[in-house]
Structure 1
Amino acid sequence: RRPYTVVLFDEIEKAHPDVFNVLLQVLDDGCLTDGQGHVVNFRNTLVILTSNLGSQFLGSDSMDAEAKRLAVMEAVRAQFRPEFLNRLDEIILFRSLAEEHMGRIVNIQLDRLIKRASRQDLAIDVTEDAREWLARRGYDPAYGARPLKRVIQREVENPLAALVLAGSIPEGGPVRVSCDGDSLSLQ
């Protein structure tokens, strides 16, 4: 059997320098030998490293795509040793998340919540106004969509749980989440 594996190192720039020495062995030899001599095979492994280095340039409106790429690569070269960078097959730059992308992300997050609730025989209906409200509140230019989960938890999940625990929802619901001015309303 040849299992395929993905190993993800998120925000690799924050890793301890010893991690890079280990990664050099993995990326160069396709295996890793631990302190007791055990060898771990990485031959069928996709190693993905993420980084936020240079992200401030990607969100800039004053730079064209090539200038952004050059600025990011300069930040990457300043952080990582050449022997490490030379072992990477590819460096891929992603565009910054923009506010107009938030609608899809809100829908994905709410669909997960609605599915979880349906397994508990609870129907949830979220109006379009409420979805747009969550998208606006869940977006931060510096952090992208990271705040969205907290906003959904604070504004939808926690009040929903309180209603369920209080017995205020008839069995099976439905619960309607709507926008009520500057806040959400659950009924």
Structure 2
Amino acid sequence: MSEFQERHEVAKFIGSPPGYVGHEEGGQLTKKLRQCPNAVVLFDEVDKAHPDVLTIMLQLFDEGRLTDGKGKTIDCKDAIFIMTSNVASDEIAQHALQLRQEAAEMSKKRIAENLDDVQMSSKITISKQFKEKVIRPILKAHFRRDEFLGRINEIVYFLPFCHSELIQLVNKELNFWAKKAKARHNITLLWDREVMDVLADGYNLHYGARSIKHEVERRVVNQLAAAHEQDLLPPGCTLRLAVEGSRAQPLRGPDDTSAGTQTPKAPTLRLEIVDKDSTARRLDIQAPLHPENIAHFL
């Protein structure tokens, strides 16, 4: 919907009126709905659209019909319309983190009391009071129309990922690149749970699942590409991702000022090539040249 930020771009939806260029082509939405009246239509990031575009949707959501630029009415009562928006995402994320923290504390109490419903702590829901007192005013301030919000049958809230969900996302990304490495270069890529934990730590609350994708590309795929460019990967080899450094942070008191105590470095990932006898040796991947040294190299 970021392509509909101007007032005149309403014509993209329903088509240009008679006498204007493109009148015979019809609108992007009306033409598709005429071909498939029982479609599922997604309006992605609807908060970026011009308010006049939302005016077009009032009749669409209320009566299930839409009139195009040619004056023809399209009946789409059997269609399902889904809108996505990032409005109030920060408020929802902070509220969900608070709920998860409270759920974790309740889980500890259940474990201490040997109760059987420990798994219930992972299921959190947003209260009706939070929706009405926090979310509703933000939506109303942005869309500025109660009649538009009143035509939405259901609002689904997407909460930040918990750790188990992040592990699934990391595993999915690693499997994607492992299949690509196998198909293109006949290289087998292996990893253990600790690798997934390290990559899951790269999750950014504001960027969602994209941050996991970027973390895998930055810390895993870049190493694979560099090793391939430096001819370190023989055809048909087996690679293993390993963690260098510990994720555990030692606990220190405020008065602990011993000279030998240092803050541990963040764990890094390294590539190891697994030989036929199951022994692993680390790949010596050369770091890319720093920009200020390229001139000396050339």
TM-score, length of structure 1 as denominator length: 0.82
* Cα distance in 1, alignment partners of residues 181 and 40 from structure 2: 31
Q: How does 1:4-153 map to 2 (within 5 A)?
A: 4-37=38-71, 42-58=76-92, 59-60=94-95, 61=98, 65-70=127-132, 71-80=134-143, 81-120=145-184, 121-137=186-202, 139-153=203-217
Cα offset, 1:29, TM superposition? 4.2
Identity in percent: 33
**Paired residues, what number?**
186
Gapped runs of 5+ residues in structure 1?
Answer: none
One-letter identity of the residue aligned with 1:7: V
Cα offset, 1:185, TM superposition? 0.8
Gapped runs of 5+ residues in structure 2?
Answer: 1-34, 103-125, 246-266, 273-298
SS at the partner of 2:201? helix
- Structure 1 or 2, whichever has the larger Rg, is 2
TM-score, length of structure 2 as denominator length: 0.54
Partner of residue 185 from structure 1, selected from 256, 270, 292: 270
One-letter identity of the residue aligned with 2:269: L
One-letter identity of the residue aligned with 1:67: Q
Cα offset, 1:50, TM superposition? 1.5
* Cα distance in 2, alignment partners of residues 40 and 146 from structure 1: 37
* Cα distance in 1, alignment partners of residues 188 and 73 from structure 2: 51
Q: Higher strand proportion, which one?
A: 1
Going from structure 1 to structure 2, the CA distance change for 1:114 and 1:38 (only over 3 Å counts) comes to farther
* Cα distance in 2, alignment partners of residues 113 and 4 from structure 1: 36
Q: Structure 1 residue 158 and structure 2 residue 210: aligned?
A: no
One-letter identity of the residue aligned with 2:40: V
* Cα distance in 1, alignment partners of residues 183 and 270 from structure 2: 23
One-letter identity of the residue aligned with 1:184: L
Q: Which has the higher contact order (CA 8 A, sep 6+)?
A: 1
Cα offset, 1:36, TM superposition? 4.4
Going from structure 1 to structure 2, the CA distance change for 1:163 and 1:44 (only over 3 Å counts) comes to farther
